[in-house]
Amino acid sequence: MRRQLIAALVALPAVAVTTFGLPLALDRGDEALRELAHTRARQARQLSPAAAKALTAGERDRLRERIAAYQDRTGGRAHVFDVRGRSVEGALCLLTPEELARLAVVRAALRGQFTDSADQRVSENAQELVVAMPVIHGGVLIGVVVVCSSLDDLRLEQLTIWAVVAVIAALALALNGFLAEPIARWVLRPVRYLEVAARRFAAGDHDARVPVHLGPPDLRVLAETFNHLAEQVQQQVTVQKAFVSDASHQLRSPLVALRLRLENMEPHLAPGGVRSLEQVLGEVDRMTGILNALLLLARAESGAQSAEPVDVRAVAEERVAS
């Protein structure tokens, strides 16, 4: 039982990490991606007024300055396309402008699949996150602002999360491995005491008791219950022994007196009554033997008699002869 308890204590952190740590790490990665997409969409929306002026009034220099400042400030790269999907202005992403224009999120924005200027389409590929924000001017779709964001920082954050989970799992396993043995001893020590006390009690040692200050609360209650039961049994056995001893002493004297009176009646009996008297005296002797056996048993159970060597052969011959 001790080995099983130690194994369960050591395996508990692994189960806890698998049950809670892995889903938490995965959820944190998804949450980080959603936060990045939300941030890039908000930044693309902030670039929409400059993109609208560049598309309608030809103010490309102003747009170019805004895109450069955005890149320096956030590390993201922005690109503006007109309604026909042609590149207007922007920083280079990992994908070329032609490849960006063919992305599903950009094509969806160019097809006008949106409800208002806050609508956004998000796409994730192996290297970067792409957010396409429609540019609306006068209620008409005139272009799309595309923001590209590298996922290297996101992957680094994800690796950091996995590393933290791994470290926590390793520390938990090490700590539980260090504490498993003392905890198992603490839990099982009252059980061992209970087992020893139960064996002693079954062997006739009715004074056997279990310490009630060791182990978990439930085992302490069990120890108190065992001690209470042992006290009840010991009390009943003591009462039984006292009854047997007292009954043997109380009945022995009347039987002796009865035998003497019966023997004194023998001269006064008719010749045919002697046989009946002998039978009655035999029953009295049998009852006397039973009482002597009960008295001997009571003395043996109480420990009043000390052990002494006897001749087994002589005792056996005496019993056979009687």
Torsion of CA 100, 106, 110, 112, to 10 degrees: 180
pLDDT tens, 273-285? 777 777 787 887 8
Instruction: Determine how many CB atoms are found less than 10 A away from the CB of residue 42.
Output: 14
pLDDT tens, 67-85? 889 888 888 889 999 988 8
Question: Is the Cβ–Cβ distance between 180 and 173 less than 8 Å?
Answer: no
What pLDDT band is residue 92 in, cutting at 50, 70 and 90? Answer: confident
Torsion of CA 240, 243, 249, 252, to 10 degrees: -90
pLDDT tens, 50-60? 998 888 888 88
Torsion of CA 28, 30, 36, 40, to 10 degrees: -160
Q: What's the rounded Cα separation, in Å, for the pair 50 and 72?
A: 17
pLDDT tens, 222-236? 888 888 888 888 888
Please check the confidence at residue 126 and state whether its pLDDT lies above 60: no
Torsion of CA 10, 16, 18, 22, to 10 degrees: -140
The alpha carbon of residue 210 and the mean position of all alpha carbons in its chain are separated, in whole angstroms, by: 27
Looking at per-residue confidence, does 230 or 19 come out higher?
230
The strands making up 140-150's β-sheet, listed across from edge to edge, are: 87-90, 77-82, 140-150, 128-137, 121-124
Both tokens of residue 250? 């109380």
Both tokens of residue 49? 């007024």
Domains of the chain, each with CATH number or no CATH: 2-160 (3.30.450.20), 217-305 (1.10.287.130)
Q: What percent of the chain has pLDDT over 70?
A: 77
Q: pTM higher than 0.85 for the full model?
A: no
Across 14-28, 73-87, 169-183, which has the greatest mean pLDDT? Answer: 73-87
The predicted structure's pLDDT at residue 113: 66
Question: Is the Cβ–Cβ distance between 173 and 155 less than 8 Å?
Answer: no
Please check the confidence at residue 115 and state whether its pLDDT lies above 60: no
Please check the confidence at residue 306 and state whether its pLDDT lies above 60: no
Looking at per-residue confidence, does 255 or 47 come out higher?
47
What pLDDT band is residue 116 in, cutting at 50, 70 and 90? Answer: very low
The predicted structure's pLDDT at residue 118: 33
The predicted structure's pLDDT at residue 173: 75
